[in-house]
Amino acid sequence: MLHVRLICVGKLKEKFYREACAEYEKRLKGYCKLEIIELTEQRLPDSPSQAQIDAALAKEAEAIRAKIPAGSAVVAMCIEGGTLSSEQFADKLSKWMGSGVSHISVLIGGSCGLDESLKKSAQLRLSMSPMTFPHHLARVMVLEQLYRALNIASGGKYHK
User: Is 129 annotated to bind ligand?
Assistant: yes
Determine if residue 77 is labeled as part of a ligand binding site. Answer: no
Which pLDDT score is estimated for 25?
Answer: 97
**pTM: predicted TM-score of the whole model, two decimal places:** 0.95
132 is in an annotated binding site: yes
Digit-coded pLDDT (tens) for 88-140: 999 999 999 999 999 999 999 999 999 999 999 999 999 999 888 888 999 99
What domains can you pick out in the chain, each with its CATH number? 2-153 (3.40.1280.10)
Calpha distance 20→18 (Å, rounded): 6
Instruction: For the beta carbon of residue 43, count every other beta carbon within 10 angstroms.
Output: 7
Q: Which residues contact 142 (CB under 8 A, 6 or more apart)?
A: 6, 77, 106, 108, 128
CA nearest to 74, candidates 64, 86, 82: 64
Q: What is the pLDDT of residue 135?
A: 85
130 labeled binding residue = yes
